[in-house]
Chain A
Amino acid sequence: MLKTRQAHVGRTGLIAAAMLIAPLGGAEAYMAYVSNEKDNTVSVIDLDKLAVVRTYPVGQRPRGITMTKDGKFVLLCASDDDTVQVIDAKTDKVVRTLPSGPDPELFVLHPSGNPLYVANEDDNLVTVVDVETEKVLAEIPVGVEPEGMGISPDGKIIVNTSETTNMVHFIDEKTHEITANVLVDSRPRFAEFTADGKQLWVTSEVGGTTNVIDPATHQILKRITFQIPNVQAEAIQPVGVRVSKDGKYAYIALGPANRIAVVNARTFEVEKYLLVGQRVWQLAFTPDEKYLVTTNGNSNDVSIIDVAKQEVIKSITTGRLPWGVTISKD
């Protein structure tokens, strides 16, 4: 079940009430962790204050970033250190590193919390890492320049996109074997399953499209294209994509077009474009889906989108070249 923001406020609210402070003021805010690719740091943003509250150093060229399922640790691809760092979300300290294979960029955790599937761009491999034992469980050969990683909600299907082969590789969780390959448009960057597991959304950066694939049949259900007045086609480069849990809307980051496309996930129509910062790359929802946070690499900031209103409400300056973002569980 979906963990609601209300329940969250309720729990911490109790503590606050005991301290005779107004409940809202004492509530623990969601925290966004933003990897700053150029600065080798992570910016921590308090999403109640909508402000950066801490910045801490990490490994070289931090990119892909996610939370462990228990919300205690931040996992970070330190690409130029060829490692995944495990960071204590409370103390900001790197507590250990995981073997990742060379140049890790993006990864996905199994819904159970373990293992971690890492795309190794340099070696045409997906590396499967046990996050407890820190052992490499398998290396799965895929196409040229593996990048995007997705996993079905039931954990049975792992998906990898290869940027130069231009395919989506469907991988069986148990056998680690490829069960299907779907050709998509140029330079597929990111793969996101819908919460019901019935659709897989794959962005193609150079192709300028997003393909929605049926994971059961491997058929492309829809090839979404984007037209924005006064923006040249080459500048429309879809990268990050997130679909709301109710399956109603998909939000697609369009890179140097500096916009988020809001797509009706039922009709696949693009309903509007939200202007954000420059070269928008990755996205993350707060767990209650009140906010969507976008990393805008070339303007060194993140945009905060009010999801209900479908409006950008604030830009927050981060370190240089913010790349990825993940948000605390509670």
Chain B
Amino acid sequence: MLAGNLRRGVTAFACVVAALAVMGWLGPAKAAEAAMVKIGFIKAEQDRQIPISRLDIVADDAGLRGAELAITDNNTTGRFTNQAFELKRYSLAKGGDAAALIGQIAADGVGFVLVDADEAPLLALSDAARGKDMLLFNLAAPDTELRDEKCRANIIHVAPSRDMLADALTQFLVLKRWSRWFLISGANQPDKAMADALRRSAKKFGAQIVEEKAYDVTDSSARTDSGHAQVQQQIAVFTQISTNYDVLVVADESEIFGPYLPFRTWSARPVAGTSGLTPVSWHPAHEQWGATQMQNRFQKLAGRFMTPIDFHAWLAARSVGEAATRTKATAFPAIRDYLLGGEFGVAAFKGQKLSIRKWNQQFRQPIAVATTELPVSWSPQPGFLHQRSETDTLGIDEPESRCKLQ
């Protein structure tokens, strides 16, 4: 084993030298020192509700591990291009000083910053970064308004918006002719926002909301001893309606009641939305389009499954690497201009090139509709056509965009 590693090391070194000599990426005199691109990762602290299912507990290193994997991938390529990539970690306390943090990041020479934060801290960071050589990547905030009336020129949205997620799900349900919906929404702001996205999407693709109910509990303990008996009765009664429907659609990002719905409903109907069949940008069991390699690499690195935010972080950091390779540059302006310039595209295990919408800087991407166990399908669905790219049937399209990037 040791001999093998040594041999690999020696060969790797030889490769770098050979690569540089032949390709002339850098002059021979400077060959030993790779040009560095620093990528930051900010985790904004937030209060998290304990999820109903243990399977939904978010790992402390969620997102971070995806970024680390992309740095490793970028550095493997960097051996051939004489570029190196480094990840720097930051955290923003709840109500912390965004300006001070951005100042520190700028002083560290970091230009590309992955941000795991909700809307408010993300906007505070964006304000603080204005006028600096800094580009933020939104890994976590799904708020559609961030891509629309509140859009910012210094934010690239890697995470799909609620509208994109809703459209991905709706296309599938409409394709299945499960067009009559019973919509149940939660009482917290994100739940209401998701319900809005689903209503808008139903209208866009011709689904009909035949009945709506609100579940007005805003806080709930996830764990109770023998609480299941009550839940079983309550959900059956709550979902008993006289209107016939095809599918129960739930908007409960807060996870107050959504995960209790499948199989506890009064009628024998499937559940979709934030529980049951859910739209997701990544799934730990996704293995199409070469994703097996990605999942294997990630699991080897992190010792756990890859989640959507890990994928977002990987995609953001990998995109910086891709831009550095293509432009043969490591300076901030060259990479930023390439990312936003319209030529950029990156392979990311979704069966097609992922690129960035120029009108609101949202990554266009296929979205899976999935059970907990497996992706069921990938949207856009066949037949939902678009003059530019079928992925632009998901989310806000250019003509309806209210985003003015500045």
Within the complex, which residue of B15, B77, B326 is in contact with A177, where a contact is CB–CB below 8 Å?
A: B15
Q: Is the CB of B22 within 8 A of A180?
A: yes
Interface flags for A37-62 (1: CB within 8 Å of B; 0: not) read 00000000000000000000000000
Q: Does A301 contact B (CB under 8 A)?
A: no
**A122 and B77 in contact, given A141-B12, A187-B347 (Cβ under 8 angstroms):** no
Q: Is the CB of B19 within 8 A of A180?
A: yes
- Closest residue to B352 on the A side, CB-wise? A234
Interface residue ranges of B317-355 to A (CB < 8 Å):
318, 322, 325-326, 345-347, 351-353
Size of interface on B: residues with Cβ below 8 Å to A: 33
Interface flags for A136-166 (1: CB within 8 Å of B; 0: not) read 0011110111000000000000000011111
Within the complex, which residue of B4, B19, B73, B296 is in contact with A122, where a contact is CB–CB below 8 Å?
A: B296
Q: Is the CB of A179 within 8 A of B290?
A: no
> What residues of chain B lie closer than 8 Å to A180, measured between beta carbons?
18-19, 22-23
Q: Does A207 contact B (CB under 8 A)?
A: yes
Interface flags for A202-233 (1: CB within 8 Å of B; 0: not) read 00011110000000001000000000000011
Within the complex, which residue of B12, B18, B390 is in contact with A179, where a contact is CB–CB below 8 Å?
A: B18
Query: Which secondary structure dominates chain B's binding surface?
Result: helix
Q: Does B11 contact A (CB under 8 A)?
A: yes
Interface residue ranges of B286-303 to A (CB < 8 Å):
290, 292-293, 296-297
A224, B306: Cα distance in complex, Å? 36
Within the complex, which residue of A121, A122, A164, A178 is in contact with B15, where a contact is CB–CB below 8 Å?
A: A178
Q: Does A103 contact B (CB under 8 A)?
A: yes
Q: Is the CB of B290 within 8 A of A234?
A: no
- Size category of the binding interface on chain A: 35 or more
> What residues of chain B lie closer than 8 Å to A208, measured between beta carbons?
353
Q: Does B76 contact A (CB under 8 A)?
A: yes
Within the complex, which residue of A139, A140, A205 is in contact with B4, where a contact is CB–CB below 8 Å?
A: A139
Interface flags for A154-193 (1: CB within 8 Å of B; 0: not) read 0000000011111101000000111111010011000000
> What residues of chain A lie closer than 8 Å to B352, measured between beta carbons?
206, 234-235, 237
> What residues of chain B lie closer than 8 Å to A256, measured between beta carbons?
351
Q: Is the CB of A163 within 8 A of B290?
A: yes
Q: Does A124 contact B (CB under 8 A)?
A: yes
- Closest residue to B390 on the A side, CB-wise? A232
A166, B12: Cα distance in complex, Å? 18
Q: Does B8 contact A (CB under 8 A)?
A: yes
Q: Is the CB of A206 within 8 A of B353?
A: yes
Q: Is the CB of A139 within 8 A of B22?
A: no
> What residues of chain B lie closer than 8 Å to A138, measured between beta carbons?
7
Q: Is the CB of B23 within 8 A of A181?
A: yes
Chain A min CB distance to B319 (Å)? 12
Q: Does B100 contact A (CB under 8 A)?
A: no
Extra 8 A-B pairs, beta carbons < 8 Å, given A165-B73, A178-B18? A121-B290, A122-B296, A145-B290, A145-B293, A177-B14, A177-B15, A183-B325, A206-B352
A-B interface, 10 closest residue pairs, ranked by CB to CB distance from nearest:
A206-B347, A234-B352, A165-B77, A180-B22, A187-B347, A186-B347, A178-B15, A181-B80, A206-B353, A144-B73
